[in-house]
Amino acid sequence: MKFLLTLILWTLLLMLCWPVAFLILIAWPILWLLSIPFRLVGIAVNAVLALVKSLLFLPARILGHSHPQT
């Protein structure tokens, strides 16, 4: 569904302003490649924060405290 909507919007842009549509077609893969390091940094930061959270809650888990289910 998302692909179909993207294709329809790009076709509409192609009919209205074809140079911008072709620029987007060429620039999109380059921007995607440039975003990969930022995604990796985001994954690493998320992992570090999960580790810190686990370390902070470790004493409570050892003592048998369970958090209430919401």
pLDDT in tens, 45-59: 999 999 999 999 888
In a domain, 41, yes or no: yes
Which pTM does this prediction carry? 0.59
In a domain, 57, yes or no: yes
Ramachandran angles phi, psi of 64, nearest 5°? 90, 15
How does pLDDT run across 4-22, given as a tens digit for each residue? 999 999 899 999 998 998 9
Looking at 1-70, list the stretches that DSSP marks H as alpha helix, in order from N- to C-terminal side. 2-16, 18-62
In a domain, 31, yes or no: yes
Number of domains in the chain: 1
Dist CA 2 CA 8 (whole Å): 10
Q: How high is the pLDDT of residue 68?
A: 64
Confidence of residue 34 (pLDDT cuts 50, 70, 90): very high
The boundaries of the domain holding residue 31 are 2-62
In a domain, 55, yes or no: yes
In a domain, 70, yes or no: no
